[in-house]
Structure 1
Amino acid sequence: MFAHWKDLLRTSYQRGAALNRASPKLVAGFQALSAGQNGHGALDAKSKELIALAVAVTTRCDSCIAVHAQAARRAGVTEPELADALGTAIALKAGAAYGYALRTLEAYEQFAEPA
């Protein structure tokens, strides 16, 4: 087992409460950002949670995974739907590495040129 996700989620909420006590303006700003992303209703809850989980994978955010895995279950996301979203995240992350490899080759080549 990688982590006990229910404990991780509980701990994230507890630490979030501590951060809120220490820096309420910061937390209020984060909460406003989160509330503001709810869009105009063009995407259903399942789609939003699938996107959130794919992004959480590419950004390696364990607390995001815990929050959105729970929300995905509640939204009715199926395992095949989740697998498709995770496959997209995996492909995209590999694609990002490929894209940055091309940029690195270009940078390397440019440094061979006189300044």
Structure 2
Amino acid sequence: MSNKDQTIFPPATPQMSKKRADLAPDQVSAFRNFSKEVFKEGALDEKTKQLIAVASAHITQCPYCIKSHTKQAKQKGASNEEIMEAIWVASEMRAGAAYAHAAIAIDEMDKLEE
């Protein structure tokens, strides 16, 4: 992120994490436990889960998630090419959703013409 972006999105710092936890300690604890469980190796290995998270972060457009899960994907052994391919899958899904939802607009237009 550029310095300009950091004025829009405050940096993720330990102090910010502490403030969130102080404001809702039970929920933060539950979320952290949930997150640990979700990202543990299971039917999917940890690298694959991080690649899914990178793709999802691009769909939800969360800059914090993009940074965090890209770093974690690299730590779990993902290559730059695998990360970029996951981002392209996310791009197709986001574009595909817009295209698919055109059916709603077409249906509405058809109703208005009746």
TM-score (ref. length: structure 2): 0.80
Percent identity, please.
30
- Note if contact 1:9-1:66 (Cα within 8 Å) is conserved in structure 2: no
- Distance change in 2, residues 1:88/1:34 (3 Å): same
How do 1:1-115 and structure 2 match up within 5 A? 2-3=1-2, 11-38=12-39, 41-113=42-114
Say what the alpha-carbon RMSD is for the aligned residues: 2.4
- Distance change in 2, residues 1:14/1:100 (3 Å): farther
Which structure 2 segments of 5+ residues have no match?
A: none
Q: How far does residue 32 in structure 1 lie from its aligned partner after superposition?
A: 3.1
Letter of the 2:54 partner, please give it: L
What whole-Å deviation, never above 9, does each CA across 1:12-53 have from its counterpart, x for those lacking one?
A: 543222110111122123223313324661111111111000
Give the match's secondary structure for 1:37: helix
Higher RCO (C-alpha 8 Å, min separation 6) = 1
Aligned length: 110
Letter of the 1:51 partner, please give it: I
- Distance change in 2, residues 1:110/1:30 (3 Å): farther
Letter of the 1:87 partner, please give it: W
TM-score (ref. length: structure 1): 0.80
Letter of the 1:75 partner, please give it: K
- Note if contact 1:9-1:67 (Cα within 8 Å) is conserved in structure 2: no
Find runs of 4+ consecutive structure 1 residues off by over 3 angstroms: 7-10
Q: After superposing the two structures, state which structure 1 stretch, 25-34 or 76-85, moved more.
A: 25-34
Which structure 1 segments of 5+ residues have no match?
A: none
